[in-house]
């Protein structure tokens, strides 16, 4: 009888452990913690073994944003706070497949990690399913080259007046994709400074117009590109 009771206890403990969920986290569009009332996406974390977790992100509309597995580094129990910054966490390491999705449901990124180390098989996709590259044989080129690109940005940027008055300044990094047709798409803030400066940088980059597409193995390719826009007050 004691043996049966002990066995039942072990089974129940295992079920409880595998089903344990940590506190839900909420984030804004800049990956900063937000309230459960107003957020861009939410993160749920479920413990599936002694040191393994499944982390799932969902957009506010309920569609999946990403899913991955993680392992804890030490013997101490992980808390929700350890999962705020997955790739920079001192307690957690990505381990297994990581997949992220566009809001429309299409796959955005797929990669495999082994105890925090990215294996050499990462893939990126456009919303239509086409492959997205970060490095190609010939990178995209703005008409007239890099100097003309800098001239366009300097000419078009309008410093937000309220940000100027508050002397808000800094470097905003904008990421986008130059498609194989030469169009600028998927313009996002890679690293922001202030919402007002970020929005102005987004506006300017979105208005860049046609580029000479990048090529890979002799064929036009969709290529990710990043430009810095420096807001400086004299």
Q: Do 57 and 66 touch, CB atoms closer than 8 A?
A: yes
94 and 7 inside one domain: yes
Identify which has the larger pLDDT, 18 or 68.
68
pLDDT (tens digit per residue) in 153-205: 999 999 999 999 999 999 999 999 999 999 999 999 999 999 999 999 999 99
Q: Round the CA-based radius of gyration of the chain to a whole number and report it.
A: 22
Number of domains observed in the structure of the chain? 2
Model confidence at 75, pLDDT cuts 50, 70, 90, reads: confident
Rounded distance, CA 103 to CA 210, Å?
25
Residue 156 belongs to domain with CATH number: 3.30.1150.10
- Within a domain: residue 13? yes
The pLDDT of residue 13 is: 39
Q: Do 62 and 88 touch, CB atoms closer than 8 A?
A: no
65 and 168 inside one domain: no
52 and 82 inside one domain: yes
Residue 96: both structure tokens together: 């297994």
Strands (E), the chain: 25-27, 41-47, 52-59, 64-72, 92-94, 96-101, 107-114, 117-118, 123-124, 132-133, 170-178, 184-191, 214-216, 219-231
pLDDT (tens digit per residue) in 132-163: 999 999 999 999 999 999 999 999 999 999 99
Summarize the confidence of residues 87-104 as an average pLDDT.
93
pLDDT (tens digit per residue) in 19-68: 689 999 999 988 899 999 999 999 999 999 989 999 999 999 999 999 99
120 and 154 inside one domain: no
20 and 100 inside one domain: yes
186 and 95 inside one domain: no
- Within a domain: residue 67? yes
- Within a domain: residue 182? yes
119 sits in which H/E element: none
The pLDDT of residue 77 is: 83
The pLDDT of residue 12 is: 37
pTM of the model: 0.67
209 and 112 inside one domain: no
104 and 22 inside one domain: yes
Q: Do 69 and 75 touch, CB atoms closer than 8 A?
A: no
Expressed as residue numbers, the domain containing 219 is: 146-231
pLDDT above 90: residue 226: yes
């Amino acid at each position: 009888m004691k043996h049966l009771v002990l066995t039942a206890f072990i089974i129940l403990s295992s079920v409880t452990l595998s089903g344990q969920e940590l506190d839900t986290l909420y984030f804004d569009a800049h990956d900063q913690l937000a309230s459960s009332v107003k957020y861009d996406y939410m993160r749920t974390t479920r413990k599936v073994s002694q040191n393994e977790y499944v982390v799932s992100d969902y957009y506010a509309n309920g569609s999946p944003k990403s899913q991955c597995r993680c392992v804890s580094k030490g013997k101490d129990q992980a808390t929700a706070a350890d999962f705020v910054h997955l790739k920079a966490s001192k307690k957690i390491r990505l381990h297994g497949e990581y997949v992220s999705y566009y809001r429309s449901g299409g796959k955005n990124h797929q990669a495999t990690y082994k105890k925090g180390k990215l294996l050499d098989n990462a893939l990126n996709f456009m919303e239509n399913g086409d492959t997205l590259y970060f490095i190609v044989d010939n990178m995209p080129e703005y008409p007239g080259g890099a100097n003309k690109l800098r001239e366009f940005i300097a000419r078009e940027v309008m410093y937000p007046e309220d940000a100027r008055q508050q002397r808000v300044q800094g470097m905003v990094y904008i990421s986008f994709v130059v498609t194989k047709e030469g169009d600028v798409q998927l313009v996002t803030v890679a690293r922001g400074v202030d919402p007002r400066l970020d929005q102005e940088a987004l506006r300017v980059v979105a208005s860049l117009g046609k580029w000479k597409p990048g090529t890979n193995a002799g064929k036009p390719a969709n290529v990710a590109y990043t430009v810095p826009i420096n807001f400086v007050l004299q």
